[in-house]
Structure 1
Amino acid sequence: MDEKLVLSGPQPSDEIMDELQNPKNHSESDSDSDSDDEARLTLQIETLETELSNNSANYDAHVQYIRALRKNGEIEKLRKAREAMSDLFPLTPALWQEWAKDEASLSSGPESFTAIEKLYERGVFDYLSVSLWCDYLNFVQEHEPSVRECSPVGISKARDLFERALTAAGLHVAEGHKIWEAYREFEQAILYTIDATDVEAKEKQIQRIRNIFHRQLSIPLSELRSTLVSYKSWEAEQGVLPDANSGDVDGIPVRIASAYQKALEMLNIRAPFEERVSRVDASDVERLQEYMAYLKFEQSSGDPARVQLLYERAVTEFPISNDLWLDYTRYLDSKLKASSIVRDVYSRATKNCPWVGELWVRYLLSLERGRASENEISAVFEKSIVCTFSCFDEYLDIFLTRVDGLRRKISQAGQVEDSLDYAIIRDTFQRASDYLSPHLKDMDGLLRIHSYWARLEYSLGKDLVAARGVWESLLKTSGSMLDAWKGYIAMEIEMGNINEARSLYRRCYSKRFPGTGSEDICHSWLRFEREFGTLEDFDRAVQKLTPRLEELQLFRLQQESKNVGLITNQRENISKKNTPEKRKQGSNVADEQPKAKRQKNAAPDVRKAKGEDKVRENSLETKRVENAQVNDGKSSSARGKETKDFPPEKPKYKDQCTAFVSNLGFQATYDDLRGFFDDVGGVVAIRILKDKYSGKSRGLAYVDFVDDAHLEAAVAKNKRTLLGKRLSIARSDPKQRKTRESVGSHAPVEHGEMSDHANGRTSTLGDSDPKADSTDASKGTTGGQEPKSTNPQNDRGNVQLKGKNTFAVPRTVRPLGWTDKNKQKTQGAEEGEDEKPKSNDEFRNMFLRK
């Protein structure tokens, strides 16, 4: 039958006392009430047992279960419940005190004393608590026979326990004086047991008590002034001080007085911090911030013992603050490094905040730094991987940290006591791969595991087949990851296996990788053959890669055209929405006019539209794009009317001190160019030529400078690299442009103009209006200028072709740049005349002539 625990509680009220004094009137109601309470308590216990069986990590359920069992008096279940909770969570000082007192009230004797003593030891390990230490000290003095009898063994044991308590909590500013006072009282009790005739022993004991006073007076504790008064009174009893009521430090040794004054100053400095961290009306967030400020102050004072004790106070108040534990362990790592204290703190930190992967990683490193055994490190690692973390990268970090430690131990096989087998590393990698592969697919973390694993298989395991097997297993799950193939190839090249590396290139060059990965692996293969292969190997690689690169380039162009088409459709839809009203059939007079006349009327409008579309200064760039979007949806006549009423302003660039920049990266910005010419200086304006519809850079730009000196310095930077592209920088000469415009399109292309001789027109790179281009093409204009001669017969001799297939051109059609040096032009009727062109039938007969 289970023992029943009788616990004290609050005093009953007057009504309950009346019922207790008159049991006859209430016996039935009392029995009913007791049975109802017992039934509710039993139901609560059963409910909590079910909850804990389903979720053992429910902290509040554990606490309620222990309280219910304690109230119901079920001792055996209560002990098991407390042990179960202690295995999962650190118990609060109040729970430990309650547990120890309950056990002490139930049993006595040497066996029970040892069990209760272990409970107190476990309690003071979990958290810092002055009250728990005082209970522990009192329990030992009362229940330890040797201590109670003041035997030498018992006195030594008690003193050791008191010194431990002072080390743990003797510097506690608010409550540390309680342990000091208990220590003095214990030594004072021993003094009374010494025989008066044993003068030497008595004097030795008096000096021991005096030393405790001196130590306490040198520490900033809350009851420092009271301690001084007690000390002077005690010295007066010993006949050392004649008057204990004199001034504060009168009559005491100078050394003690100086230490006391210093401690008093330290106490006065810390008093405001102590007041703020102990505020009852403050929230937890505010108090935690106050603790952090207090810690910062203590760290600046440079006393590690005081800093550590304050950290212990803080984590006792806020046990699940992971930032606080991280800060605490980081401080200990920097100050104490491999001590047992650091190891114990990490053990408590991971128990309070098991969901923080960084704490587990640093715990493993601390154990390795402290030369812990393999069994201890393995046990901590096994605990860590069963925790629940916020992301899988934390699991990855723990696995890799474990492998790092194993690798270091195996590498130092002759320098460490316990050597390890490489199979442990392989098993750890396999567990990491099995657990993380479903969650880290096509991610860098998975690549880190397998690349590290393969390297160790070859370097430590001396097994090339196993190393290749690691890469092959990764390719099965993540074959579309380019870096996986590159890592595999790099390993083979590093080991000198050129044929195996080439075989891997043949396997992966035809795969489709994200982004530009497909092109990258092709170019990587070519570089590989240049560096390691023969000429035949290089030729075979080129033969395989050329059609593949052409295919990828065609696919890229198709994707870009789709994107451009999508953008164009979107802009057309926007333009249609912005059009105020639809055109009616028959309302446009230009549609009823002849084609030639309609083109003639449209030419001025086209030129004005081009004036609007020219690339302006950086400040006008946004306005240009908006105007282009609005003008796209308007008819030629509507634009002509609008430009007639409001002629657009066309910026005039004289290009007196302008540099023309080509081969510019499409991603280059104005800031990039300005930074490129920073060492030159004198930059006035920058114009990057862009496509009208897509808004993308054309790879050309103009940079205006203040004078020729700065321009010459800029041109001197020709062939310099910007964003991976070698720039071509030349001086822009407007005089050559005017000359070119006067003679046609034979002059060199410059200042952003691109000659399209196939269509018989010259288009400006900043212009992309298809309507304007078609109008110019129909009229035979160049550069948006009207032709000097309107007679088509006079222009027959000026027809030009460009390209490779010019060998079969009829004699009347001149190749690009051809001039007849033998023909002598004469004035009069011969000027402007040329040979009459042959018809199609004449050409056909000429070729069929035998």
Structure 2
Amino acid sequence: MAEPMEAEQTVMSENLEELNPNDDEEQKNTLDATAPSDGSDSEDSDSDNEAQQAEELKTLESDLSRNPSNYDAHIQYIQLLRKTGEIDKLRLARESMSAIFPLSPKMWQEWAKDETTLCSGPEAVPAIEKLYERGVSDYLFVPLWCDYLNFVQEHDPSVRDCSASGVSKARNLFERALTAGGLHFSEGSNIWEAYKEFEQAICLLVDDSNTEGKEKQIQRVRNIFHRQLSVPLADMKSSLLVYKAWEVEHGNDLDANSSDLEGISSHAASAYKKALEMCDARVTLEEQVSKSDVPDTERLPLFKRYLKFEESAGDPARVQILYERAITEFPISSDLWTDYARYLEKKLKVGNVVKNVMCRATRNCPWVGELWVRQLLCLERARASEDEVSMVFEKALQCSFSSYEEYLDLFLTRIDGLRRRISVAGELQVLDYAVIRDAFQRASDYLSLHLKGTDALLRLHAYWAHLELTLANDIVAARGVWESLLKISGTMLEAWQGYIGMEVDKGNLNEARSLFRRCYTKRFPGSGSQDICQSWLRFEREFGTLEDYDYAVQKVSPRLEELQIFNLQQESKTVVTAGDASDLSAKKSVREKRKPTSNLLEDQSPSKRLKDTKEASKKGTKKGHEKVLSVTRTATEEETEANVNKMDNTSSNEQPKKQSIHEKTMYTDQCTAFMSNLDPKVNYEDIRKFFSDVGGVQSIRILKHRDTGKSRGLAYVDFCDDAHLEAAVAKNRQWLLKKKLSIARSDPSKSKNQSGPKILPGDQARTKRSNSSDPSGDQPTSSEVRNNDGVQLKGKNTFAVPRNVRPLGFTDIKPKPVQGDDEKPKSNDEFRNMFLKK
């Protein structure tokens, strides 16, 4: 038994040398193994190589025993076994790898050739044919098909002897090859040529005396030529010349050297012209996808563009061939497999074809949950057996997906299929509901820890409870499902609502009421706690008695008050951001300024204050920043108070001087944008995000009502330089929270050039009239008039305009005369004469 094995290994080594003539390393190893020993040096070298290879084999075997999914280790192990010529181990290694991974076309080609060399007898033909069948079913590889066809013609006795059964077998195989790769643009012509050669060989075997048989065989060859010329393939013009030369050999008068279509049947000529147009439309795309120097990252988009073109052409056969070519080039592109499956389900709808494609997709990309889901649905459409579907489902669970939602989708697809099987009449005897319950339990056990508190887990248990009610008609089991969910995600409001809703739908009001009593004291996210309390009250209004409603109110009212107090406390705790800190420091400076005991701004000279402000802005320190904020505009109330003090005629002459000093230092910041028409809900973070594309924001000040603390719709935004400020002003008239903003550069110099002090909204309410010459107070004094002469209101923010200032777009109800410094008040008779004249 040992001698035949040694002879077989020697033949294997010699044939491997012939199969890989371009592999220098394999040639060297093979020659070293077969060369005669000339001395001790060569023997030592051979023994060292054998020892090294044996050690490598042991290492690879150990790696594969620990991790059978190591693709690279499988490849190295097979290559090393081919070098050493260990036939039995090589066969087992290939079988082990093919059980886990699809082998590449070249690996199938090598395997089939190795087995053909070792076992060339007729008894080995069926086994080698099975190898070829397995190879061509994995990928579209035209050279493998050609090897398969040549092997059958050379080694199958029935085909080789041209018996009726052998010819029929060969023709069926050729037709299968044409269906699989005959439309391949660049390589499909190889199958057509092999088919024609086979039929022409049969034609030569037909006796000339058999005129009918001869003519029938000639017509068969002619039909193959016509079919080839109607398909857009590379070198179509060369195929036309070959066809015309063949017609000349069989007595037809044609110009074999011309590419015109004279003498060819009109049907064949029309098909050829159409195929030639299709060929011209695809030449550029074929050149792009066929370039070997282009990286795969660029070739894959080119294939997808080619696929879109073929799909727009509307020929499903050509689209399928191109998809097969693409997945042969990119077998682990999950997007490509998904698009292929979608196209077949939508257009082709051939059960066996889609089933085969999905099986190959999950073998090539087992980590994509969507492909397994599609395979389960495909098996269900094909009415596969429960054992087959269960086997695929178990394989899918052994894969590693990128997210737990993919596992959930897989479980739900499996449960959907089981539910549909049980619902169909006649299937109740085949499947029991316990199968569905077991699938739900497995899904819950596996996913609950990872999907705790998510809507996905809630959806799973809600579906489970629904089936317990509808299919199993078991309310106790349905309650058990909800209770198990509450143990995992008891803080989910939706879980309690789903449980209560089930009891209400079933009319179990007492059970629903007990659930409300269990959960109304729980703290749910957001407004969930208030919602569950309100739901309980609404439930008692609709279904309960007066006593039940009073009891619910008694329980819920303290809880609602507690929640309201808690929410108010939470709202008072604001997160201090950069803008908030600047606003708080500004408010603090306002309060300190109003203290009568100390006023640092009044004690300093204008030049000193201006210098400190500039130094603080340059240094950028926190202390300097707070000082700048203290002397800039921080609130409209501060400006109002300052202007009221200026207008007070009872104050001393020294007071206006101090206020004028304050007026100068109040507008030292020259990089400030003034925003108006803000939505009251706008906060500091909204404004910061609004100017995020501009950048350079240093501080934000939102003006608020002194009494209510609510936003007045106005804000100042300080920028680091003029460039950022100009970019911010350019965003004028843009929208923020459904309101169109008004943004302008803050210009304090305008108030300095005015003839009188600036009166802000609300000043008129606090203006003193004690020095008025009119006792009634209806007529203003000359000093009051002079103070009001400089008022200028612009824009649309006139909601807080003093009552003696007319808003834009409105008219006064009664005219008010404008008096100068020397004008006297009019008497009643003068007013009467004015109205009579009008």
| TM-score > 0.5 by shorter chain | yes
Cα distance in structure 1, aligned partners of 2:307 and 2:500: 52
1:643 aligns with 2:662: yes
Maintained 8 Å contact 2:583/2:634: no
Cα distance in structure 2, aligned partners of 1:96 and 1:246: 42
1:242/1:195 Cα in 2 relative to 1: closer, same or farther (>3 Å)? same
SS at structure 2 position matched to 1:514: coil
In the other structure, the counterpart of 2:68 is: 56
In the other structure, the counterpart of 1:399 is: 411
**Which moved further from structure 2: 416-425 or 152-161?**
416-425
1:289 aligns with 2:301: yes
In the other structure, the counterpart of 2:434 is: 423
Maintained 8 Å contact 2:316/2:348: no
Q: 1:514 aligns with which of 506, 525, 534?
A: 525
Maintained 8 Å contact 2:236/2:276: yes
Maintained 8 Å contact 1:346/1:359: yes
1:697/1:639 Cα in 2 relative to 1: closer, same or farther (>3 Å)? farther
Post-superposition offset of 1:373? 2.1
Post-superposition offset of 1:577? 14
1:128 aligns with 2:147: no
Cα distance in structure 1, aligned partners of 2:33 and 2:547: 110
SS at structure 1 position matched to 2:185: coil
SS at structure 2 position matched to 1:140: helix
Question: In the alignment, residue 476 of structure 1 is paired with which amino acid?
Answer: K
Q: CA-to-partner distance for each residue in 1:209-264, whole Å, 9 max, x for gaps?
A: 11111111111111312221121111112112354334531211122112112211
1:30/1:736 Cα in 2 relative to 1: closer, same or farther (>3 Å)? closer
Q: CA-to-partner distance for each residue in 1:700-724, whole Å, 9 max, x for gaps?
A: 989xxxxxxxxxxxxxxxxxxx99x
The correspondence of residues 13-162 of structure 1 with structure 2, limited to 5 A, is 26-162=38-174
Question: In the alignment, residue 105 of structure 1 is paired with which amino acid?
Answer: T
Post-superposition offset of 1:495? 1.2
Q: CA-to-partner distance for each residue in 1:335-362, whole Å, 9 max, x for gaps?
A: 0235211111111111111111111111
1:536 aligns with 2:574: no
In the other structure, the counterpart of 1:823 is: none
Q: CA-to-partner distance for each residue in 1:140-190, whole Å, 9 max, x for gaps?
A: 111111111111111111100000000000001101010011011111111
In the other structure, the counterpart of 1:230 is: 242
In the other structure, the counterpart of 1:826 is: none
Q: 1:455 aligns with which of 466, 469, 480?
A: 466
SS at structure 1 position matched to 2:39: helix
In the other structure, the counterpart of 1:571 is: 581
1:198 aligns with 2:210: yes
Question: In the alignment, residue 504 of structure 1 is paired with which amino acid?
Answer: L
Cα distance in structure 2, aligned partners of 1:563 and 1:524: 30
How many correspondences in the alignment?
A: 653
TM-score by length of 1: 0.70
Q: 2:505 aligns with which of 467, 478, 494?
A: 494
In the other structure, the counterpart of 1:614 is: none
Question: In the alignment, residue 402 of structure 1 is paired with which amino acid?
Answer: R
Q: 1:524 aligns with which of 521, 530, 535?
A: 535
Post-superposition offset of 1:591? 6.3
Cα distance in structure 2, aligned partners of 1:127 and 1:639: 92
1:164 aligns with 2:183: no
1:322 aligns with 2:334: yes
Maintained 8 Å contact 1:422/1:461: yes
In the other structure, the counterpart of 1:369 is: 381
Question: In the alignment, residue 643 of structure 1 is paired with which amino acid?
Answer: H
Q: CA-to-partner distance for each residue in 1:249-287, whole Å, 9 max, x for gaps?
A: 121112211211221121111111111111121111111
Cα distance in structure 1, aligned partners of 2:347 and 2:595: 89
Question: In the alignment, residue 204 of structure 1 is paired with which amino acid?
Answer: K
Q: CA-to-partner distance for each residue in 1:663-688, whole Å, 9 max, x for gaps?
A: x98999999xxxxxxxxxxxxxxxx9
Maintained 8 Å contact 1:631/1:639: no
Cα distance in structure 1, aligned partners of 2:494 and 2:713: 37
The correspondence of residues 257-272 of structure 1 with structure 2, limited to 5 A, is 257-272=269-284
SS at structure 1 position matched to 2:90: helix
SS at structure 2 position matched to 1:195: coil
1:554 aligns with 2:565: yes
Question: In the alignment, residue 440 of structure 1 is paired with which amino acid?
Answer: L
Post-superposition offset of 1:572? 7.0
In the other structure, the counterpart of 1:437 is: 448
Cα distance in structure 2, aligned partners of 1:735 and 1:592: 28
Maintained 8 Å contact 1:232/1:241: no
Percent of pairs identical after alignment? 57
Cα distance in structure 2, aligned partners of 1:478 and 1:20: 69
The correspondence of residues 576-587 of structure 1 with structure 2, limited to 5 A, is none
Cα distance in structure 2, aligned partners of 1:88 and 1:259: 45
Q: CA-to-partner distance for each residue in 1:583-621, whole Å, 9 max, x for gaps?
A: 9xxxx997658xxxx9xx99xxxxxxxxxxxxxxxxxxx
1:23/1:354 Cα in 2 relative to 1: closer, same or farther (>3 Å)? closer
1:317/1:577 Cα in 2 relative to 1: closer, same or farther (>3 Å)? farther
Q: CA-to-partner distance for each residue in 1:452-501, whole Å, 9 max, x for gaps?
A: 00000001111110000000011111111111111111111111111111
Cα distance in structure 2, aligned partners of 1:162 and 1:469: 62
1:423/1:740 Cα in 2 relative to 1: closer, same or farther (>3 Å)? farther
Cα distance in structure 1, aligned partners of 2:766 and 2:176: 98
1:68/1:742 Cα in 2 relative to 1: closer, same or farther (>3 Å)? same
TM-score by length of 2: 0.70
SS at structure 2 position matched to 1:563: coil
In the other structure, the counterpart of 1:308 is: 320
Maintained 8 Å contact 1:52/1:61: yes
Question: In the alignment, residue 265 of structure 1 is paired with which amino acid?
Answer: E
1:631/1:81 Cα in 2 relative to 1: closer, same or farther (>3 Å)? same
Tell me how large the CA RMSD over aligned residues is: 4.4
Post-superposition offset of 1:561? 2.4
1:115/1:701 Cα in 2 relative to 1: closer, same or farther (>3 Å)? same
1:576/1:465 Cα in 2 relative to 1: closer, same or farther (>3 Å)? same
**Which moved further from structure 2: 320-329 or 370-379?**
370-379
Question: In the alignment, residue 63 of structure 2 is paired with which amino acid?
Answer: E
Post-superposition offset of 1:694? 14
In the other structure, the counterpart of 1:179 is: 191
1:475 aligns with 2:471: no
Cα distance in structure 1, aligned partners of 2:129 and 2:707: 81
Cα distance in structure 2, aligned partners of 1:133 and 1:639: 102
The correspondence of residues 607-646 of structure 1 with structure 2, limited to 5 A, is 643-646=662-665
In the other structure, the counterpart of 1:214 is: 226
Q: CA-to-partner distance for each residue in 1:629-648, whole Å, 9 max, x for gaps?
A: 97779999999686343567
In the other structure, the counterpart of 2:826 is: none
1:332 aligns with 2:348: no
Cα distance in structure 2, aligned partners of 1:269 and 1:555: 72
1:343 aligns with 2:355: yes
Post-superposition offset of 1:70? 0.9
Maintained 8 Å contact 1:667/1:697: no
In the other structure, the counterpart of 2:756 is: none
1:280 aligns with 2:292: yes
Maintained 8 Å contact 1:492/1:500: yes
In the other structure, the counterpart of 1:811 is: none
In the other structure, the counterpart of 2:457 is: 446
In the other structure, the counterpart of 1:240 is: 252
Contiguous gaps of at least 5 residues in structure 2:
604-627, 643-656, 669-676, 688-700, 715-736, 739-759, 770-800, 804-838
1:646/1:117 Cα in 2 relative to 1: closer, same or farther (>3 Å)? same
Contiguous gaps of at least 5 residues in structure 1:
603-625, 650-658, 672-687, 703-721, 724-733, 744-782, 786-850
Cα distance in structure 1, aligned partners of 2:433 and 2:34: 79
Cα distance in structure 1, aligned partners of 2:136 and 2:165: 23
SS at structure 2 position matched to 1:390: coil
1:378 aligns with 2:390: yes
Question: In the alignment, residue 545 of structure 1 is paired with which amino acid?
Answer: V
Cα distance in structure 1, aligned partners of 2:594 and 2:507: 79
